[in-house]
Amino acid sequence: MSSFKVFDIAGSGMSAQNLRMNLVASNLANVDSVSSSTEATYRSRQPVFQAVLDQHNPQGTATGVRMTGVLESPAPLTREYAPHHPMADGEGYIYRSNVSPVEEMANMISASRSYQNNVEVINSARQMLAALINLGR
Amino acid sequence: MKLDDALGIHEHALRLRAARGEVLAANLANADTPGFKARDVDFAAVLRRELPGPVRLAATQPGHLGNDNGLVPASQLRYRNPEQPSVDGNTVDVVREQVAFSQNAMQYQASLRFLDGRIRSLLTAIKGD
């Protein structure tokens, strides 16, 4: 019986959106992080999603999703002149992270909506299975 | 009268509805995957293929046609025409998929109800009261 695959698929979606939510939280928490060099500065982290085929049944139709990696945003960092800042480099500059709070909020809403969609799918599939179990009673 | 005939088309329809639910769930799970193309089952075409014709070849090898354990093979899936494709190549329209999924769930319940009715009438015939 293949109905249980719906749970796997929607579950993979939930877990992927959950990881994305963690990245959003990490980005938002580090929105004001500063450092004294471009290398050490926190850069906004974005997830990379990929559709995953069933390895036991590559001809099959059902596809889950997984996060294949995390990209650091190449957006430019803000260089700020603050000679009295404890993190200032030799020339008196500090570097601020390139996290955009607006983008992250939009990301957060999108992740939470997608998560809810997958929860709804699981709920419906659960009801379908429950009805199937009661067939012929 | 064979038992399979008593259940009629509804058994095939039920299996197809379950398979279609999987495809739609996959679309929803990949709503944010770049390059993912939303797919759906051409229900009428697949059901026609599922129904036993007058003559059917026996599938004795895994490679034989018709031996797919009731699953819809990927070749039977159709890609959805996107109304607003996104820049990253994803064609999942979440609202559309949700509507399709809940419609599919309702039709699944309907098929179940029909099957239930058939089973009940069989039970009545068996018990005779």
- DSSP letter for each residue of chain A: --THHHHHHHHHHHHHHHHHHHHHHHHHHTTT-EESSTTTS---EEEEEEEEE-TT-TT---EEEEEEEEEEP-PPPEEEE-TTSTT--TTSEEEE----HHHHHHHHHHHHHHHHHHHHHHHHHHHHHHHHHTTT-
Residue A9 has pLDDT above 50, yes or no: yes
Which residues of B, range 59-78, sit inside 8 Å of A by Cβ? 70-74, 77
Judging contacts by C-beta atoms under 8 Å, the chain B residues touching residue A125 are 21, 25, 105
pTM, two decimals, is: 0.79
Tell me whether residues B119 and A2 touch, CB distance under 8 A. no
Judging contacts by C-beta atoms under 8 Å, the chain B residues touching residue A114 are 28, 31-32, 94
Residue B49 has pLDDT above 90, yes or no: no
- Whether B102 has its CB under 8 Å from any CB of chain A: the answer is yes
pLDDT of residue A109: 96
Q: What percent of chain A has pLDDT over 70?
A: 91
- Whether A21 has its CB under 8 Å from any CB of chain B: the answer is no
Question: Binning pLDDT at 50, 70 and 90, where does residue A137 land?
Answer: confident
Residue B53 has pLDDT above 90, yes or no: no
Tell me whether residues B108 and A5 touch, CB distance under 8 A. no
pLDDT in tens, A29-86: 999 999 988 888 999 999 999 888 766 666 666 678 988 999 999 988 989 999 999 9
Query: Tokens 């031996």 — which residue?
Result: B67
Residue B42 has pLDDT above 50, yes or no: yes
pLDDT of residue A57: 64
pLDDT in tens, B86-108: 888 889 998 899 999 999 999 99
Closest CA to A98 of A67, A118, A116, A71: A71
Question: Binning pLDDT at 50, 70 and 90, where does residue B65 land?
Answer: low
Question: Binning pLDDT at 50, 70 and 90, where does residue A105 land?
Answer: very high
Cα of first residue to Cα of last residue in chain A, in angstroms, is: 20
Judging contacts by C-beta atoms under 8 Å, the chain A residues touching residue B105 are 124-125, 127-128
Please name the residue of chain A whose CA is at the shortest distance from the CA of residue B18: A3
pLDDT of residue A112: 95
Please name the residue of chain B whose CA is at the shortest distance from the CA of residue A120: B98
Question: Binning pLDDT at 50, 70 and 90, where does residue B41 land?
Answer: confident
pLDDT in tens, A13-36: 999 999 999 999 999 999 999 998
**A-B contacts at Cβ under 8 angstroms:** 115
Output B14 or A24, whichever has higher pLDDT.
A24
- The mean of the pLDDT values for chain B is 82
- Whether A5 has its CB under 8 Å from any CB of chain B: the answer is yes
Please name the residue of chain A whose CA is at the shortest distance from the CA of residue B14: A132
Residue A111 has pLDDT above 90, yes or no: yes
Question: Binning pLDDT at 50, 70 and 90, where does residue B112 land?
Answer: very high
